[in-house]
Structure 1
Amino acid sequence: MSSPKRHRGLLFALVPSLLMLTGCWDRIEVNDVALITGAAIDKVGPNTILLSVQIFVPRTSSNNGMGGQGANVGNQASIVTSATGENIPDALSHIQEKLPRKLFWGHAEVFIFSEDIAKDGIRDEIDYLMRAPQPRERAYMYVTKGKARQMLTTQSFLERNSAEIMREISKGKLSLSVTLADLAHMLVKETGAAATPWIEMLPASAPNNYDSIPSPVNGTAIFKDGKMVGVVDEFTTRGILWIRNEIKQAVVTVNPEEKSPNSVSLRLTTSKTKIKPLIHNGIWTLDIQIRTENNALQNSTNLKLSSDPKAVKIIESAMNEDIEDRVRIALNKVQKELQADIFDFGGAFHRAYPKEWEQQKSHWEDIFPTIEVTIQPHATIQRPGLTSIKEVGIEEKPRK
């Protein structure tokens, strides 16, 4: 082939490829995007919801002359806007009509459901959030008492907005932490039970004092067949975390001496929970083994932890009792009263006894409340700490 023909052939081959190099013709500039940092869903009618979204404001924290609802206050850097609709995409389209920028879900950190929505069922809402391409599967889920929108409008003095506060609470692993992907996975399980953090804002002790920040109450919302059937408190939530092997950080305070205000505080360093199912003669039982390692933080008792092994055993025994009490309370509330398998006991039996599970899974709702559970906590103190003042017998000198 001659050189000109070869060049023409090469040119014809390159022309189609140029069509693929037209640049970002469908790009959206960041200045044209409204970043959603959190969303709340409330019920306002039989077939109507109120969707509220918290939108990041890319400007300084000053008011800039803005007034009324949605203006930046203090160090706030967000606005909250709402619209009603039959479902989330319908309400979202009405919010979009009011904004000059295109809404973007990719930075949403939390989704909050009101108590009314949770009791009616959240399967449809979770279905949308999982189907839509933008919402993050790692966003944290919450259920709140009262209006969910109020959680987004709560002022923050430590973080940029309330969504970041709830994100940090979940990341801290001090209470139940559930992402969108976690919740969706729980809702499609054969047991049909799920749990999410329950958050409730207590009023500040001094409303006009900026040093007084509203404190969250962290409990657990229990779901069965996609609908919320009850709420447990913070104390019971600790027992749920022990069973689910999700407790990562904790400070446990025990009173080893009866009728004495003196106590020992321990910091949890590691924790491991193993659930061992057993089916024998048609009876379904479970053995929950909890092993923890702890460090002593404060000792206000007369026990000499640094020099007396018996004293260490006394504290370890007291912690074992505390763990067993919390786990037993959680079982009585969730297994016996609410009868929702948020512990995934069904999954444990399925893995250990697949044939028996296939035969009995349709009767799981009847079997689950009757399962006999034994609890075997084993707490150890790895570091009792340095010798305390009481242990060496140092007495406080009287003041002159």
Structure 2
Amino acid sequence: MLLGVLAICLLGGCWSKVEIEQMAFISLVGVDRADKEDLLVSFQIVNPRALARGSGGGSGGGGEPPVFVLSVTARTVPDALAKLAEESPRVVRFKQLSAIVLGEDLARSGVGQVMDFFARHWEMRRSIWVLVAKKSAQDVLLKGAPVSERVPGMAIKMEMERRAILSPTRYPVALGDFLTGLAREGEDAIASSVEIGPMQEKKPGGSGGKEEGGDTKEKATTGMKELVFSGAGVFRGEKLVAFLGPQETRGVRWFKGKVPGGVLTVPVKTQGTWASLTTDREITRVKPVVTKTGIRYDVEIMDEGFI
């Protein structure tokens, strides 16, 4: 009898357990500067009921969207999380968080305090992606629709994990590497930029309205917005100082030896046309040279491929 009582006392209990039906899984977090003192923090939460009802269409079964966005204004990210917990009937969890999107205004004013929260929170993985929005992070969460995925957070995760040979003009960076770039002396943090753009570009010379016999589906697609990844944001310390274009971003990746391949399109002057070089191997050599006026770097890049 005594042994039985002791055995019961030694049994581990799940005193803090939360059933999965009671959880709210956050897929994306966007942080903007609301004003000089407050933040605008947006949480994109997965709607499992909509995902479970059907596999077709972007709006899920019964017309429900696969995700919904809640935005709160607060002094800090923990304060925003507390306000979200008051509004949400479910327990908020970051275990499925795919990416953190930093708004341009916030990034230019400094991201140190915001990133400190993500660095310390116990559910944050160092493999979460960090992106910088051109303009508003809230717009990215609200208006950005992935082309083939129902959950935008999953689409961003897949885009960032694509082989560099397919997307050499963006700069994917994980949370751990981004924090290192912010903290390490002599190194500047870089993160891929994201914005929203038309899902289908208008045809040159096309009219804005519907023409006789025109394709209404094409017109509807043109009005939709998708997530566009091109270029990167460069930080000096904890502040964003500039955006790099696609070709500049490719140059940075070349310099760091992070372009295993890609497609280079160059003009052929003798034929008056263009040619594409598909590269499958890249070698970068960086040699520092000390001169009387300072230090310069000689960079040698060799690409191998085929036309």
* TM-score (structure 1 length as normaliser): 0.64
1:88-127, aligned counterparts within 5 Å?
88-127=77-116
Aligned 1:1-400 pairs, distance under 5 A: 16=6, 18-61=8-51, 76-153=65-142, 154-172=144-162, 173=164, 174=167, 175-191=170-186, 193-204=188-199, 205=201, 208-209=220-221, 214=226, 216-255=228-267, 257-258=268-269, 260-281=271-292, 283-296=294-307
Shift of residue 292, structure 1, vs aligned partner: 2.3
**1:75/1:160 contact within 8 Å kept:** no
Structure with the larger RCO, 1 or 2 (CA within 8 Å, 6+ apart) = 2
Could you tell me how far apart the structure 1 residues matched to 2:179 and 2:27 are? 20
CA shift, 1:274, in A, is 2.5
Whether the 8 Å contact between 2:198 and 2:223 is mirrored in structure 1 is no
Counterparts in 2 of 1:215 and 1:185: CA distance versus 1, 3 Å:
closer
User: In structure 2, do the counterparts of structure 1 residues 75 and 160 end up closer, same or farther at CA, with 3 Å as the change threshold?
Assistant: farther
User: 1:251 and 1:108, CA in 2 relative to 1: closer, same or farther beyond 3 A?
Assistant: same
**C-alpha contact 2:196 2:227 (8 A) present in aligned 1:** yes
Give the secondary-structure state (helix, strand or coil) at the position aligned to 1:150.
Answer: helix
Say which is worse superposed, 271-280 or 183-192, in terms of deviation.
271-280
More helix by share: 1
- Contact in 2 for aligned 1:76/1:156 (Cα 8 Å): no
Name whichever of 40-49 and 287-296 sits farther off.
287-296
Name the Cα RMSD after superposition.
2.8
Distance 2:73 2:80 in 1: 5
The sequence identity of aligned pairs, in percent, is 24
Q: Cα 1:262–1:157, aligned 2, differ >3 Å: closer, same or farther?
A: closer
Paired amino acid for 2:235: F
- Structure 2, unmatched stretches of 5+, are 202-217
Please say which structure displays the higher CA radius of gyration. Answer: 1
Count of aligned residue pairs for this structure pair: 280
Q: Name the CA shift for 1:91/1:79 in 2 (closer, same or farther; >3 Å).
A: same
User: Secondary structure of 1:34's partner?
Assistant: strand
39 and 225 in structure 1: CA distance in 2 versus 1, 3 angstrom threshold? same
Hey, what does 1:334 align to over in structure 2?
none
In structure 2, do the counterparts of structure 1 residues 272 and 21 end up closer, same or farther at CA, with 3 Å as the change threshold? Answer: farther
The question of whether the paired residues in 2 share the 8 Å contact of 1:186 and 1:193 is answered with: yes
- 8 Å Cα contact 1:41-1:114 kept in structure 2: yes
The verdict on how the C-alpha distance between 1:273 and 1:225 changes in structure 2, with shifts beyond 3 A counting, is same
CA distance in 2, matches of 1:171, 1:149: 23
Taking a change above 3 Å as real, the CA distance of residues 61 and 33 of structure 1, as seen in their structure-2 partners, is closer
Kept in 2, the 8 Å contact 1:202–1:217? The answer is no
Query: CA, structure 1 residues 72+145, in 2 after alignment: closer, same or farther (shift >3 Å)?
Result: farther
Q: Once the two structures are superposed, what CA deviation does each residue of 1:23-44 show, in whole Å capped at 9, x if it has no partner?
A: 3232111111111111100111
Deviations 1:364-383 (Å, cap 9, x if unpaired)?
Answer: xxxxxxxxxxxxxxxxxxxx
Q: For residues 275-317 of structure 1, what are the alpha-carbon distances to aligned partners after superposition, in whole Å with 9 as ceiling and x for unaligned? A: 2223255641212122322133xxxxxxxxxxxxxxxxxxxxx
- Confirm or deny: 8 A CA contact 1:277 1:285 kept in the other structure: yes
Q: TM-score, normalised by structure 2?
A: 0.82
Name the amino acid aligned to 1:47.
E
Residue by residue, what CA displacement relative to the aligned partner does 1:50-78 show, whole Å, maximum 9, x if unpaired? 111111111235999xxxxx998979411
**What secondary structure is seen at the aligned counterpart in 1 of 2:192?**
strand
Task: Give the secondary structure class of the aligned counterpart of 1:125.
Answer: helix
Runs of 4+ with deviation above 6 angstroms: 70-75
More strand by share: 2
